[in-house]
Structure 1
Amino acid sequence: MPSIFSYQSAEVDWCEGNFERSAIIAEYYNTISNVSFFILSPVLFYLNQQYRQQRALPMYVVSVLFLCIGIFSTYFHMTLSYVGQLLDELSILWALAAAYSFWYPKVYFPRFIKSRKQFFWLSGVTTLITTLMSFIKPALNAYVLNCIAFHLLYLTWRELKKCDDKRVHRTAAAMVVWWVLAISSWISDRWLCWFWQAINFPYFHSFWHVLIAMSLLYCCPLVIYFDVNYELPSFKPKIRYWPSDSWLVVVPYVALEKPYKQC
């Protein structure tokens, strides 16, 4: 029986050919494309420094977990090991759990939850149970994690209905576009691998890494913006764009300005 740390011991193998460009890296492009997560974390951390000064813990925790996603995804695609697969998927689960714990609006709490502390406990217990369940059928984990995106999109839609700020809507639209491109790449690599291998272009999972990181670049400032509205009522959040509003592709961030006024 092969070790759970052994190369190619995972239940999942993506479309890219194994060891074609390196003797030690199983999926070369799927591995190096994870650089997008190593860029994502410091960019979000730096640009949203005004928010970080007010709510340091969520920014530190989520930024570190984004780095963990990059590290473990790199390890998984480099080795295709069983341990690598689980670490990759669980790092995503833990990052989502942390984001929900810190940023899920209180107005959407279940009725039996009366405080953020209670919601932390609920999130922790749910994450623990889900972590244990992930060992049952690891091949299904990625599908379940992707389904969480639909709940995030639903929450975004609910919040956009309350706000007429054009920059917020523009950021949300860009997030959805990047996510659609990302999930299309993921599904294409998973379900149409036979076609991409036939034309010698099996690289859509590496596109997924870059595109989902781009979607998160837009998603996180949106979440921060809504969090400021709920948790920091003495501030007025404003979406800004780096490096300039005139650029086609920009990185949004949240600036905290004059006293809060209802959006």
Structure 2
Amino acid sequence: MFDSMDSIKNEMERWFQYETGHAWCESAYKYQTLPFVAEFFNSITNLPIIVLPLINVMMLKRYINEVNWMIILPHLLLTTNGIASTYYHSTLNLFGQIVDELSLVWIINIFLVAFFPVMKWYPDRFKQNIVQIRWAIVGATVFISALCFMKPSVNALALMCFSIPSALVIYYEGVMSSDMPEATTYSWRVFVLWGMASGCWCADRFLCDVWLYLGTPYLHAAFHLLSSLAAYYVFVMFSLLDISRRAHEHKFVAHVKYFPYETKRNVFNFPYITLIELGQRKD
């Protein structure tokens, strides 16, 4: 009995101990900026991942409350992922790594649960079975989550592979939305941003010696920034599609504005949605 308890204790210590998870290239300079943070820049670049989805949620608060509460779920999961990733890169422990990776698995699948009904590639003849399909997706997500514990070292590679069909679906939904030019534009931006982010991820993972020689082992931090922008565009794009394709269910019209410049042609602008009730004059 005592041997069993000691074994459990040792296993728990391994999960929560510093540096028991996968380290990224920046770990060559670990603890240099702050003595209790292993990968400083990989940690702080999670801030946009935490904040940006909450901005979109605040903009859509009334729509979420009155029409489709499910779209809040992937937003909150992305914020959770940002918090988990901050913890992971600060400690490099196995628990943080697993939570970071599991939250990504759930984001992708719960995104489908929330937005399936308004996707073009989802056949109309199956719309009456949406509840069963949603539960099937949740069941598959639980199964995939269990697999993440078997060999954590391959989880990140598997997730990157999983992102390829996800990016293709996003691109398809954008180009099939000719009635909404913003969706087409954002799908292209997502495609480019995610391509750049994936390049940074692969370069950091497989060419670390090169970046250490150059003194710039920060490509995983660049991956965080680029992927957070891509994710934000995904959420804005599908929020627009959801509002437009559920128009018969509500009284809202989505109007896109930009910050800090009021023009969509500036690639450095952040789009955000304002909701206008039918019958109200648009500013």
Aligned residues: 258
**CA-to-aligned-CA distance 1:115-171 (integer Å, 9 cap, x gap):** 221122111110110011111111211122222332223223333234243322222
Of 19, 25, 40 in structure 2, the residue corresponding to residue 8 of structure 1 is 19
> CA separation of 1:64/1:158 partners in 2, compared to 1, >3 Å: closer, same or farther?
closer
What corresponds to 2:56 in structure 1? 44
What corresponds to 2:5 in structure 1? none
Of 254, 257, 262 in structure 2, the residue corresponding to residue 241 of structure 1 is 257
User: What TM-score results when the alignment is normalised by the length of structure 1?
Assistant: 0.87
Structure that is richer in helix per residue: 2
Higher alpha-carbon deviation: 157-166 or 127-136:
157-166
What amino acid is the match of 1:154?
A: L
Name the SS for the 2:24 alignment partner: coil
For 2:181 and 2:124, locate their aligned partners in 1 and report how far apart those are by CA, in whole Å. Answer: 30
Does 2:228 align with 1:213? Answer: yes
1:95 to partner: Cα distance:
1.8
What amino acid is the match of 2:24?
A: W
Of 60, 66, 73 in structure 1, the residue corresponding to residue 85 of structure 2 is 73
> CA separation of 1:221/1:147 partners in 2, compared to 1, >3 Å: closer, same or farther?
same
What corresponds to 1:181 in structure 2? 196
1:225 to partner: Cα distance:
2.3
> CA separation of 1:198/1:110 partners in 2, compared to 1, >3 Å: closer, same or farther?
farther
For 1:214 and 1:120, locate their aligned partners in 2 and report how far apart those are by CA, in whole Å. Answer: 27
The root-mean-square deviation of aligned C-alpha atoms, in Å, is 2.5
* 1:225–1:237 contact (8 Å) kept in structure 2: no
Superposed counterparts of 1:129-208, under 5 Å: 129-159=143-173, 160-208=175-223
> CA separation of 1:22/1:47 partners in 2, compared to 1, >3 Å: closer, same or farther?
same
* 2:170–2:234 contact (8 Å) kept in structure 1: no
Higher alpha-carbon deviation: 56-65 or 104-113:
104-113
Of 94, 108, 112 in structure 2, the residue corresponding to residue 96 of structure 1 is 108
> CA separation of 1:152/1:140 partners in 2, compared to 1, >3 Å: closer, same or farther?
same
Name the SS for the 1:108 alignment partner: coil
Higher alpha-carbon deviation: 61-70 or 22-31:
61-70
For 2:123 and 2:182, locate their aligned partners in 1 and report how far apart those are by CA, in whole Å. Answer: 27
Name the SS for the 1:198 alignment partner: helix
> CA separation of 1:110/1:192 partners in 2, compared to 1, >3 Å: closer, same or farther?
farther
1:239 to partner: Cα distance:
5.6
1:57 to partner: Cα distance:
2.1
1:203 to partner: Cα distance:
0.4
* 1:34–1:210 contact (8 Å) kept in structure 2: yes
> CA separation of 1:177/1:54 partners in 2, compared to 1, >3 Å: closer, same or farther?
farther
Higher alpha-carbon deviation: 34-43 or 192-201:
34-43
For 2:258 and 2:243, locate their aligned partners in 1 and report how far apart those are by CA, in whole Å. Answer: 20
* 1:239–1:252 contact (8 Å) kept in structure 2: no
1:257 to partner: Cα distance:
5.9
Does 2:73 align with 1:58? Answer: no
What amino acid is the match of 2:268?
A: V
Aligned-residue sequence identity (percent) comes to 24
Unaligned runs of 5+ in 2: 1-9, 279-283
1:84 to partner: Cα distance:
0.9
Name the SS for the 1:127 alignment partner: helix
What amino acid is the match of 1:83?
A: F
* 1:241–1:250 contact (8 Å) kept in structure 2: no
**CA-to-aligned-CA distance 1:94-127 (integer Å, 9 cap, x gap):** 1222211111236526987842211221111101
What corresponds to 1:84 in structure 2? 96
* 2:117–2:130 contact (8 Å) kept in structure 1: no
For 1:237 and 1:216, locate their aligned partners in 2 and report how far apart those are by CA, in whole Å. Answer: 23
**CA-to-aligned-CA distance 1:36-85 (integer Å, 9 cap, x gap):** 12221221112334533444522432232122111110111111111111
